[in-house]
Amino acid sequence: MGAVDGGRGVTRLAPLLSTTLDQRAMEIARAAAAMILEGHAGGTSSEGAATRGWEQRFATWLEGGPVRAFGSGRAALFAVAKALGLGPGDGVIVPAFTCQSVLNALRYTGAEPQYADIETDAFGLDIDAVNAAIGPRTRALLLQHTFGLIGRDIDALLTLAQERQLLVIEDCAHALGATWKGRKLGRLGDGAIFSFERGKVLSTVHGGMAVVHSPEAAARLEDWADETPLPDQQQLGSQLASVVHDYWTQVADDREKADWAHRQFASTLIPRMWPEEFDGRYCSHYRERMADVVADLAQSQFDRLDEVLSRRRAQAAAWQIWADASGARTAKVIAGSQPAWLRFPIWVDAGTKAEPAALERELGVELGLWFTSPAHPVPSPQAHCPRGMDACARVVNLPTLLPVGHPYSSG
């Protein structure tokens, strides 16, 4: 999928976003969007039966919980941070290779992110950098499983957190279905979040799950979720329109329908980030629950999770063969881990990351630029984190769900 590429027969760039949407998901969204236009509830019923069923199913699958569903991964992180009791004056160590929405969710509680450098084998927090960053106000570590990988120092970080009595929040936004020593990620710390945003392992355009593991935090999470409003009808309609749009423009091989979807929905698409997020102002969308129809969309794709993970892992293996032949530097899979491989990261020169079009044409894929700064996409230089800054300048990532027939597809 994309521009014609040097004789390989690629006619459109293989997309990064919304690639797990299928016709079933599109029809769920289309039908609910039509109900909203006709003035019906369209999946925002206060009863929330579908959402509660989804939460219970997810908790059973994770073998942890309780689990509550929110309107986004960032809203889930806000909820987990509140449930764990983080507040003004508390420090939370985060990797210098993350996004602005993570920082916002923590800051909305009154807590303050404290950057620590990463290791560049698997883009996790570096144990020595974390030791150096811990101060008298540090209360928590955010373990971000970047690209669906498990960080090199995860054992040492978990041990350190236990010794220093620090809370551990797992950011599993990239890592749904990944495992460490046979355990699903999301069960290693005090709480965890998962995301179903456009660019994640499964996509509902926006959506997230929050999980905590202690009775005290569980009670606070339940109260927070029960007091959290649903999205309004206009926003939900925009999200559903985005699902229909993304299916026809990103997934289906139908140029006529893609052109129609662009004309029909381009002006109503829900943004990946809202304007307030860029400068850290409070954003009300961080306090929204998941609507029933979004839970239906999530479950329709969760039915295929094993297949999706199998395809992503096979494609990562295929990209590794290409990288070995091309001399590209890649991440390392640590012993005992089974990554989700949301994306396949490679190191390039800074010029290629700044101007990726030539490599995109060569490979016939859209390149992901996570992350361009320690607060992606907002500039935030952190001179004391040179490895994180280098990764921001030189790491790009490749999609791991390619269309059938793509020349680099695993099959």
Q: What is the pLDDT of residues 316-360, one digit of tens each?
A: 999 999 999 999 999 999 999 999 999 999 999 999 999 999 999
The pLDDT score that the predictor gives to residue 54 is 98
pLDDT > 50? residue 287? yes
User: How much is the pLDDT for 6?
Assistant: 37
What does the alpha-carbon distance between residue 258 and residue 80 come to, in Å, rounded to a whole number?
Answer: 38
Identify the burial level of 6 via C-beta atoms within 10 angstroms of its C-beta, where 0-12 means exposed, 13-18 middle and 19 or more buried. Answer: exposed
The tens digit of pLDDT for each residue in 211-228 reads 999 999 999 999 999 999
pLDDT value for 37: 78
pLDDT at 2: 37
Q: Which residue, chain included where needed, has tokens 């509830």? A: 41
User: H or E segment at 405?
Assistant: none
What integer is the mean pLDDT of 102-108?
A: 98
Domains and CATH numbers, the chain: 305-399 (3.90.1150.10)
**Percent of the chain at pLDDT above 70?**
95
The span from the CA of 258 to the CA of 162, in Å, is 51
Positive/negative CA dihedral, 353, 355, 357, 358: negative
Helix (H, G, I), strand (E, B) or coil at 370: coil
- Specify the pTM: 0.96
* CB-CB contact of 211 with 242 (8 Å): no
Beta-sheet pairing, 208-212 with 67-70: antiparallel
Q: What is the mean pLDDT of the chain?
A: 95
Q: DSSP letter string over 278-335?
A: HTT---GGGS-BPPHHHHHHHHHHHTTHHHHHHHHHHHHHHHHHHHHHHT-EE--PPT
